[in-house]
Structure 1
Amino acid sequence: MDVLRRNNVTLSGQGSRTMVFAHGYGCDLTAWRAVAPAFMNDWRVVLLDHVGFGGSDISAFDPERYDSLGAYADDLLEVLEALELNDAVFVGHSMAANVGMLAAIAQPSRFASLVMVCPSPCFVDDADYTGGFSREDVDDLLEVLDANFLGWSRSMAPVIMGNQDRPELGTTLESSFCRTDPDIARAAARVVFLADHRAEVPRCPARSLVLQTSSDALAPVAVGEWMHQHLPHAEYQLMNATGHCPHMSAPEETIAAIRRFVA
């Protein structure tokens, strides 16, 4: 129960199969409010917050422990163990896609499949790999975040969300960022934006769906295609949706894609 409280785990829905939803950087489980209910008639639905975000136990955040995405993967596995779950479908957005992949490598029996929403194993360009940013770009981004987290949130949320014709979406994401403790946000940003999990991608044993939007300021199409090429058991869908958060901006298309994959 301490594990479930730590990660603010909620359970709902019905059915013999379980679907677990995990959010990306700066968000919380409310990011899935337009998607998760669509599965509650047929699935047991689990939502969680990563430690340091949303309604999680903030006191559990230790920057020395959470110095890699592996720590978040360990948390996920502890949650699945506490719920006695095997063969779950895991739906992870952005950083959580990597968290789910690392957890599936560590304990394959816990996962029937992975749905990776706008994943990126590495944001930094490297030789023939296009991550979308130079190392200098990432260092500048982190420097601005360090100096003025609220200002960074205000300027970056609309860019990350995309859909400039729907500014309310960017405002929603900005509000989520601003609910995060700035010190935790700074520490987690370094982990997320400097991570490189390309070596782990070919080791992922789970059947996977890569959901890539047609225009994403954080994870360009080249990244989604790279994931599709290097995951051993991957399906790929290039969505009509734009921006880095299709579960918020295009929930109907996201729901339909997940349903096709798990049918």
Structure 2
Amino acid sequence: MFAHGFGCDQAMWRFVAPRFENAFKVVTCDHVGSGGSDVRAYDPQKYASIDGYADDLVEIGSELGIHDGILVGHSVSAMICALASIRAPEMFRTLVMVCPSPRYIDDENYVGGFSAEDVDDLLASLAENPMAWSASVAPAIMGNASRPELGEELTESFCRLDPQIANDFARATFTSDNRADLLKVTARTLILQCRDDIIAPECVGQYVRDHVADSELVLLSATGHCPNLSAPDEVVAAIREFA
């Protein structure tokens, strides 16, 4: 099962997920409020934290009868998937975290990549002008300046998200702290880290590796935060070797 990150939808896995269909039953989904999901199902209280999205993944897995499944999450969904695997360890026995971060804000003896002021400014900018925020932030997140079409795709994806849902999801994402949850993960875990990722620097990937018991960290040659779009061959190869 593949889960997308903030401001994205299941189409972000279109270069990766189909390449596993010959050996696995493959499931992609949109988080409530994103992509083709039913926006009427969006509950601001439920999705005020990423726990609500984790509950949804368990519900989907239960509906589909998944057992010993592989759960692949990108960006914030790496931690959403970690929470889902903790809730349903027999359902999801293998976990792939693509560019994960258990906490984005720096803390004592922890580097997340952002100060509390950075996150406050980011959220205020998003609330004030979502379109301008998307146009400026998305290309930097994508991190492939020589391939501007990738940044443009991410910008368009951000812009499709309902502004209030975008604000809620961004707040739930960037103010989350799931460091303690890493110690509860029992799934066999692959961590895929990119170079020059402004959202999840290399030290964060190392932190996740050090705090998830049965985990392996692979540093990809890919740059930026979205290797599922910018370097799908690398992502597929790493998952195949691990799975």
TM-score (norm 2): 0.99
Q: Does 1:156 pair with 2:137?
A: yes
Deviations 1:176-225 (A, max 9, x none): 11111111101111000000000110110100000000110100000000
Deviations 1:36-66 (A, max 9, x none): 1111111110000000100111111111111
Paired residue secondary structure (2:153): helix
Question: 1:180 — aligned with what?
Answer: 161
With CA pairs under 8 Å and 6+ residues apart, which has the higher RCO, 1 or 2? Answer: 2
Aligned-residue offset at 1:148: 0.3
Distance in 2 of aligned mates of 1:164 and 1:154: 14
Q: Does 1:27 pair with 2:8?
A: yes
Distance in 1 of aligned mates of 2:165 and 2:195: 31
Q: Which runs of 5+ in 2 are unaligned?
A: none
Paired residue secondary structure (1:244): coil
Query: Which residue, 83, 91, 102 being the options, matches 1:102?
Result: 83
Question: 2:119 — aligned with what?
Answer: 138
Question: 1:168 — aligned with what?
Answer: 149
Paired residue secondary structure (1:89): strand
Distance in 2 of aligned mates of 1:52 and 1:107: 23
Q: Does 1:113 pair with 2:94?
A: yes
Distance in 2 of aligned mates of 1:47 and 1:124: 29
Distance in 1 of aligned mates of 2:28 and 2:232: 16
Question: 2:194 — aligned with what?
Answer: 213
Identity score, percent: 53
- Give the alignment of 1:203-242 within 5 angstroms: 203-242=184-223
Question: 1:46 — aligned with what?
Answer: 27
Aligned-residue offset at 1:127: 1.0
The farther-off stretch of 37-46 and 220-229 is: 37-46
Distance in 2 of aligned mates of 1:234 and 1:123: 20
Distance in 2 of aligned mates of 1:254 and 1:105: 24
- Contact 2:54-2:84 within 8 A present in 1 as well: yes
Distance in 2 of aligned mates of 1:176 and 1:89: 26
Q: Which runs of 5+ in 1 are unaligned?
A: 1-19
Query: Which residue, 193, 196, 199 being the options, matches 2:177?
Result: 196
Letter in 1 for 2:113: G
Question: 2:110 — aligned with what?
Answer: 129
Distance in 1 of aligned mates of 2:36 and 2:219: 32
Letter in 1 for 2:66: L
Give the alignment's Cα RMSD to 1 decimal: 0.6
Aligned-residue offset at 1:112: 2.1
Distance in 2 of aligned mates of 1:159 and 1:261: 29
Letter in 2 for 1:205: T
Letter in 1 for 2:165: I
Paired residue secondary structure (2:47): coil
Question: 1:11 — aligned with what?
Answer: none
Paired residue secondary structure (1:56): coil
Paired residue secondary structure (2:169): helix
Distance in 2 of aligned mates of 1:38 and 1:81: 24
